Structures are given as C-alpha cells and as structure tokens.
Amino acid sequence: MSVEQRPLGRTGADVSVVGLGTWQLGGDWGDVDDDTAAEVLDAALDAGVTLLDTADVYGDGRSEQRIRKALVARAERPFVATKAGRRADPFEAATFTPENLRAWIDRSRRNLGVDTLDLVQLHCPPTAVYADGRVYDTLDGFVADGSIAAYGVSVETVAEGLTALEHPGVQSIQVILNVFRRKPTEELLPAAAKAGVGVLARVPLASGLLSGKYDESTQFPPDDHRTFNRHGEAFDVGETFSGVPFEVGVQAAREVAEIAGDAPTAAFALRWVIDQPGVTSVIPGARTPAQVRGNVAAAALPPLTDTQLADLERLYDERIRAHVHDRW
C-alpha cells in the first residue's frame, strides 16, 4: 500500500505522513505482549508506514529491541526516530554531559542493532537544555563521527520549540498537536517551516480520547499512565490526555465524533493534524494491528470541510482552550 511520504526537514529522508508511535510497545499503557507488539509493527510496515518513533526509556529499551527484531526479516528499513535524555539521574540540565549523551546513544545503537541512528531527539529535557550550545556541539560531534545521522528535539512547550529552532543543527521538532492542542499552529509550525525543520506531531489522539470510544466510566489498568499520571504524578500531565481533564475530554470527544460524521473519529482527528501547514508526520501510538490500520486510513481521507474546521475551532474555544492553551 502506498502512503503519502513527505521530506523530514533537511534530513534527506522521506517519511510517511502517518507514522507509528511505539511507547505502547515499551510500557506505561498496560501490558502489550511480545506477539502483539510484533503484530503491531508488522501491521504498520505492511500498511506502508515508513516512520517509527521510539525512545531508550520505553520499557527501558524494550520498545527499541522489539523494533530491531521486527526489522530483521525486512528488506526495507523504515526511518527510526529514537530519543535520549530521560535516563538522566538526577533529571537536571547538569547531567546532559558529553559522557552521558554518548552512553545513552551507544545503548540505543545496540538496542536497535545499527551503527548509525537515523534520528535522536532530546527527550523533553529540563528547559535549560534547549538553550545550551554545549549539548548541540556534542550532538554535532556524534553526527560527524557517524553515530547518528541527525538530531532533533521533543518539547513540552511552544517556547522550548522556538528556543531549539535557534540552533541550526536541529533537524526536527516533536510536539503535542491535536484537535485539543492547537497552540503550536500559531507560532511554532510556521517557524519550523521557515527554518526547514521537520515536525512530528505526537499524542495526536489525546491518549485515545479522540477516538471517541471512552465514556465517563472508562477505567484503565493500574500500570497505564492514564491511571497513574492523570494528575501529573509521574511526568508532565500534558502527556496524558493532552492535559485535558478526562471528563471534559470525553464530552468534547463526543462532539468531535458528531463533527466527523461518517468518518471514523480517530482517522478524522489524525487528518486534521496531517493537514496543519508545517507538519511532516503524525505519530499515533497503537496497541493492536486494527488500531494501526485505522490510523493509516487517515492518509487516504479527504481534507476536512470548512464547516468541520470551524466547528472544531469553536469546540476548542468553548471547552478546551481554558485548560491547556496558556500552559504549554
């Protein structure tokens, strides 16, 4: 199957507009066993996905290792974007030393079984790191010695993304962008486009809310961040339901489903992201092959109508904006 491919900034790589996020194949989303993880990866690659997003900390390396196994039998390699930085202990700017960065990146090379990582993203480090020229100098050195082909950043806030764009070696920005998280469209996406920097849109379904399938009584397992990080207990609360209170999100998602009409709500929500100017790819996570296929279908949907776009904007302004807009 062919899925639209777009250039990822100035990296020279083309990637599918729908990628696959693989946090679910590591941990923090309840259990995903080895067989299911392999089926999810195969479903994505068979459907034409050429971009996988992972991190060294997803299951402490399990997501990267599962990707390596899935790719052994494949003639064509997808573009694999990993992340480094959240192994820092203590988690503070001072631990982003050349030695630590070297160790984290070498571990990802072993986990993924490659000499050169396609892309390493700084994994939502402390804010001061985005302005630290020494960190970028270190990463430039890893590009020069062939350990990595390119580097970028994953950010929590628009301001962090704008800071990172001041550093010319940055090739990609990963940011939360979805129907419930519109702020990056105002300044960050235009600035990235102007700089020729790729944008990977994460948490595009607001952790599943934008599938429209949850209700007020939905429960998640204890080892799922939608239980244990609902109020930001373990990491930035914006990573869980995009920072939208669950009941508010459930109600707003019902309206999104109505606006979507005949289109499956998840694919409709992903299409909105794909069509934001400046976006390279959307990287929904998936726990089943059926979810993967449902998400790849977004690449074949028509653009939203003007009425649908206006309805989504009104919904955001009325129900969501007050909870998230000034925070990230």
Ligand X SMILES: NC(=O)c1ccc[n+]([C@@H]2O[C@H](COP(=O)([O-])OP(=O)(O)OC[C@H]3O[C@@H](n4cnc5c(N)ncnc54)[C@H](OP(=O)(O)O)[C@@H]3O)[C@@H](O)[C@H]2O)c1
- Tell me which residues touch ligand X (CB under 6 A): 21-24, 29, 53, 83, 123-124, 154, 174, 202-208, 211, 213, 239, 266, 283-287, 291, 294-295
Q: Is 149:114 a contact under the CB 8 Å cutoff? A: no
- Expressed in percent and rounded to 5, the helix, strand and coil fractions of the chain are 50, 15, 40
Q: Provide the minimum distance between the beta carbon of 212 and ligand X in the complex, in angstroms, as a whole number.
A: 8
Structure-block tokens of residue 219? 């429960």
Minimum CB separation from ligand X for residue 176, in Å? Answer: 7
Q: Considering beta carbons, is residue 21 or 115 the nearer one to ligand X?
A: 21
Nearer to ligand X, 24 or 147 (CB): 24
- In whole angstroms, the minimum distance from the beta carbon of 204 to ligand X comes to 5
DSSP secondary structure code for residue 111 in this structure: H
CB of 259 to ligand X, least distance (A): 17
Q: Tell me, yes or no, if 58 is annotated catalytic.
A: yes
Least distance CB 211 / ligand X (angstroms): 3
- DSSP 3-state of 64: helix
How far is the C-alpha of 41 from the C-alpha of 36, rounded, in Å?
9
53 or 160: CB nearest ligand X: 53
- Residue with smaller CB distance to ligand X, 85 or 278: 85
Rounded Cα distance between 319 and 317, Å, is 6
Residue 244 has phi, psi (to 5 degrees) of -85, 130
- Residue 80 or 304: the one with the smaller Cβ distance to ligand X is 80
User: Min. distance of Cβ 132 from ligand X in angstroms?
Assistant: 18
Structure token pair of residue 166: 């001041």
Residue number with CB closer to ligand X (278 or 289): 289
Which DSSP symbol is given to 79?
A: E
List, edge to edge, every strand of the sheet that includes 151-154: 20-21, 51-53, 79-84, 119-123, 151-154, 170-176, 198-202, 281-282
- Cβ closest to ligand X, residue 42 vs residue 141: 42
Give the residue from 61, 64, 56, 54 showing the smallest Cα distance to 23: 54
- The DSSP bridge pattern shows strands 119-123 and 20-21 to be unpaired
Catalytic residue among 58, 130, 151, 214: 58
Instruction: Scan for tokens 């892309």, then name that residue.
Output: 119
Q: Which two tokens stand for residue 239?
A: 């990573």
Which residues lie below 8 Å from residue 137, measured CB to CB, with a gap of 6+? Answer: none
What is the nearest approach in angstroms of ligand X to the Cβ of residue 120? Answer: 12
Residue 198's alpha-carbon distances to 183, 186, 190, 301, in angstroms, are 17, 16, 11, 22
Helix or strand (DSSP H, E) at 88? none
Residues that are catalytic: 58
